[in-house]
Amino acid sequence: MTWTLRITFLLFLAWLIFLVSPFVALYDLAKAVEARDVPRIEQRINLRALRTSFSRQILGEYLKTPNGQEIGGIDPDAASHAGAAVFDPYIQTLVTPQTLMDLLHKGWSQHGASGAAPDLSAIDLRTFDASALRRAWDLFIASESQGFRSIIIPLPPDRPKDEQFRLTWRLSGTTWRLTGLDLPKTLREELIRRIPPPSGS
């Protein structure tokens, strides 16, 4: 009986650590951003996956009609290839450790785009007062598990989806890495307006 209780406790403890681990990764990224620690930021993000995430969002927004509906009659694969040719050079300049650091720290002022930084106060573990714990709990409740290896954490958790930064974390080995960053709708639209014209035009 004693061994059964010990094993049950250890399994519960391991499960609890696993549940908390992506939020610890988010906290670690926030501290790295605050310290302007680029090598530490690079350990916590997957640049290739983030660029794919940005391309998908900007292309999706670009192919909408003025009233926000998706344009019909377009082959998705053809649109993706055409969009890649236009957007990829722009995405390469947007998604770098430096620009992500600026976005997460003070909002996105690069490339003429404006946008508030995501609110990271909910993951500030330096204070354990009631308000900090409540914010952390709200963030935990608002998160969306995508199986055992992926989770979406919305910031701020109490805002409508179109006004949130939605951070997708994926477990790679034993490390949680940021693989997706869905932007608020207004910021996506602003980035589209700032796409530089093709060379020679």
DSSP string of 151-163, one letter each residue = EEEEESTTS-GGG
Most trustworthy range by pLDDT among 2-6, 108-112, 175-179, 191-195: 175-179
The percent of residues above 70 in pLDDT, for the chain, comes to 70
Residue 110 has pLDDT above 50, yes or no: no
pLDDT at 162: 85
**Contact (Cβ atoms closer than 8 angstroms) between residue 97 and residue 42:** yes
- pLDDT band, very low/low/confident/very high, at 179 (cuts 50, 70, 90): very high
Q: What is the pTM (predicted TM-score) of this model? A: 0.76
Among the listed ranges 13-22, 129-138, 139-148, 174-183, which one has the minimum average pLDDT value?
A: 129-138
How much is the pLDDT for 157? 85
Distances (CA, A) of 48 to 4, 45, 176, 179: 45, 9, 15, 8
Cα dihedral 59/188/109/36 (nearest 10): -80
Higher pLDDT, 134 or 159: 159
Tell me what pLDDT residue 98 has: 83
Comparison of pLDDT for 160 and 62, the residue scoring more: 160
Rounded alpha-carbon distances, angstroms, from residue 83 to 64, 91, 173: 13, 11, 32
Confidence (pLDDT) at 111: 44
Extract the tokens encoding 55: 């391309």
Answer whether 79's CB lies under 8 Å from 73's CB.
no
d(CA 201, CA 192): 17
